[in-house]
Amino acid sequence: MKLGIENIPHHWIEEIVNLAGERIVVVDREGVVLYINSAYCEFLGTTVENAIGRPVQDVIENSRMHIVAKTGQEELASLQPINGSEMIANRYPLIINGELVGAVGTVMFRNPEDWLSYKNKIQHLVEELNYYKTKAERNSKSKYYFSHLVGDSPSFTAVRKLAERVSSSQSAVLLLGESGTGKELFASAIHNNSTRASFPFVPINCASIPEHLLESELFGYDEGAFTGAKKGGKKGHFQLANRGTIFLDEIGDMPLAMQSKLLRVLQEREFLPVGGQKSIAVDVRIIAATHRNLEKMVEEGTFRQDLYYRLNVIKIEIPPLRDRNGDVELIAINLLEKLGRKFYRKGIKLSAEVVERLNQHKWQGNIRELENVLERSINVLDGKIIELAHLPLYLRDQETVNIPVKIDERESVNVADIPVQPLKETLAQVEKKAILNALSAANGNKQEAAKLLEIGKTRFYEKCKLYNIH
């Protein structure tokens, strides 16, 4: 009796493939479909007879099989949108006797429901991966000093002097300011000018860590604390920051349960790891930051009053860029030097017209918005002088008109400061302003802001990402 696959009838093999949950397609060097199983055809809404002999891109939406058949380069675990669902595709070059003759492709999941089930199972892993990725990117950045805090305006100079004066203290610092004003920059400068400068500076964005991970990230865990815990346990950020500074950004987004545990660390100077039996003593200086109104949150019961007073020992309010008269040009020049190094474009200057236009703008996104504008300009720049034509459309033309723009049936917004430009740009600016106004009314609470605008939370977050609103 022969050994191997020859013992299995051909029609058995095809049924085995279908039962395995794989959709399979085979193409030749030209990308023409030679074989496709019935499971794949059923999902695509076609038949094997209609698919065979046709170009694969005419049969399968967003297919790259014809490309793999040409290049011989495999593509594994690629996301492929098909029929409104994101499927996982694997594409392999088919090499017979050393010759590239075509390609084989498989797509996982029988239906969108299977994909949704799989997605829900791995959601926590995806959140954890994104958090660690963000943390790694943040930790790779250089530290900042007071010399990096650029500006000569009276409002900014006073704040910088106050930060320098208190940097040698051991007391907690609360940094207040809008998104993009440079709160982490201030925190790093305070640390590097303190007696703790030779010890760690550990920045944490409380809003970016998934709630179910926050406690273990801050305080670590002991071995066996939960399923998947590392052997030997893991140190938390507080332990890593011992004798140094821990920067708690977006402290206003910390859940109430975690606020209680943070308060204990501030009071007792010790913490208990997740699953631990013994408290660990720690010596850290706390610098917290938020763009939200903590006093109002205390009144509403969403932020602990006792924690607020523990953090608010030294309060530093960083002014928005629009209130820093004369600083825009200085900051822009400093940012151009940094961006020049990033893009290997030295000696880039601003024309007089561009400087005037930058000074006229209100900079709702503060320094982060200014940096984005300059980076965009460098990307479309041929020479070394940034002119008006290199700026985004919404900054190019300052001719304004008084147009009341309806946001909903209850209110309207005056867009007198919006320049004459394509309608798409005008509507985008009005939409961004509406989002910023809603966030201001909701004290930075995105869910509340979404309710005020009467749109879904997911759509609201997508809009914030589109307009670089943090």
pLDDT for the residue numbered 399: 44
User: Between β-strands 404-406 and 385-386, what pairing exists: parallel, antiparallel or unpaired?
Assistant: unpaired
pLDDT band at 229 (very low <50, low <70, confident <90, very high): low
Give ∠ CA 132-137-138 in degrees, rounded to 5. 95
Report domain extents, the chain: 15-110, 141-319, 323-396, 400-470
- Token digits of residue 356: 């005037």
Average pLDDT, the chain: 83
Check pLDDT > 60 for residue 320: yes
pLDDT for the residue numbered 411: 43
Domain 323-396 in CATH 1.10.8.60? The answer is yes
Which stretch of 27-41, 197-211, 219-233 has the lowest confidence by average pLDDT? 219-233
pLDDT for the residue numbered 305: 95
Which stretch of 208-222, 276-290, 295-309 has the lowest confidence by average pLDDT? 208-222
pLDDT for the residue numbered 418: 53
The rounded distance, in Å, linking the Cα atoms of 356 and 410 is 36
Check pLDDT > 90 for residue 164: yes
Radius of gyration for the chain, computed over Cα atoms and rounded to the nearest angstrom: 28
pLDDT for the residue numbered 88: 79
Q: Average pLDDT, stretch 455-461?
A: 82
141-319 in CATH: which number?
3.40.50.300
The rounded distance, in Å, linking the Cα atoms of 345 and 439 is 37
Q: Average pLDDT, stretch 262-279?
A: 88
pLDDT band at 113 (very low <50, low <70, confident <90, very high): low
Residue type, 257: A
Query: What is the CATH architecture of 15-110?
Result: 2-Layer Sandwich (3.30)
The rounded distance, in Å, linking the Cα atoms of 294 and 252 is 7
Helix/strand/coil for 120: helix
CB atoms within 10 A of CB 108: 15
Topology of domain 400-470 in CATH is Arc Repressor Mutant, subunit A (1.10.10)
pLDDT for the residue numbered 111: 53
